[in-house]
Amino acid sequence: MNKFVNIILAKFYLYVFLFLFLVSFAVLSKSVLTLNDDDFVIGDNNAPVTIIEYASLSCSHCADFHLNTLPQLINEYVNTGKIKIVFRDFPFNYPALLGSMVLHCIPEDLHYQYSQALYQLQSKWVSRENKKTTQELYKIMQSGGMKKEEFNICIKNVDLEKKILQGLMDAQSEFNIKSTPSFLINGLLVEGNKPFKDFKQIIDKLLSEIDD
């Protein structure tokens, strides 16, 4: 009887081990190219070209891309259903991390407007003094209707902070991303703030290959 029980237990533990191994493998093998439910995306989900941007809200080159190049990409490619753009966090410092966190605490339909505003007002709220960063960032969020209590709860959300930093580490691990902005265009890594014509050349080439 004991021998029979031991066999059953051995099989049970084997199945548990295999299950945990497969789950762990699935988690570890998941590519950053796979979109998540909580990704912020603009454009048609069925667009043939996907651009994943990794940016730091304190980065001046990211601000230049968002304020000058991004509107052109939206006008020519997003609005015509040719590309979709996925915005992901890659904070390099405390202000950028704080900014990323608050953007996760607002309604999704306001995400784009707020992120553009944070880039536009970057010099106002990005500071070496953490206290000043927090104060100035709250002023911006308050102007959009966020209450002080909501703001404080958001920036103290440890799980959210870990999630953002994990996304950064995943991008570093899989694509060795080290600078911002960096873009994954249908899996092709493009580093740095490129002029619109460079994006256009890459996108048009990908679209022509898809059409063929």
CA-based Rg of the chain, rounded to a whole angstrom? 21
CA distance 133 to 87: 22
CA distance 178 to 156: 26
Write down the residue that tokens 């249908």 correspond to. Answer: 186
pTM for the complete prediction? 0.84
- pLDDT the model gives residue 13: 39
CA distance 88 to 164: 9
Q: What pLDDT tens digit does each residue of the chain (212 aa) get? A: 444 434 443 443 344 344 444 334 334 458 999 999 889 999 999 999 999 999 999 999 999 999 999 999 999 999 999 999 999 999 999 999 999 999 999 999 999 999 999 999 999 999 999 999 999 999 999 998 999 999 999 999 999 999 999 999 999 999 999 999 999 999 999 999 999 999 999 999 999 998 76
Length of the chain: 212
Domain 40-211 architecture: 3-Layer(aba) Sandwich (3.40)
Contacts of residue 56, defined as CB under 8 A and 6 or more positions apart, other chains included, come to: 62, 89, 90, 91, 92, 93, 96, 180
CA distance 68 to 9: 63
- Rounded to 10°, the helix 148-155/130-143 angle is 130
CA 119 from chain centre, in angstroms, equals 16
Write down the residue that tokens 């099989």 correspond to. Answer: 11
Residue 128, token pair as written in the block: 């070496």
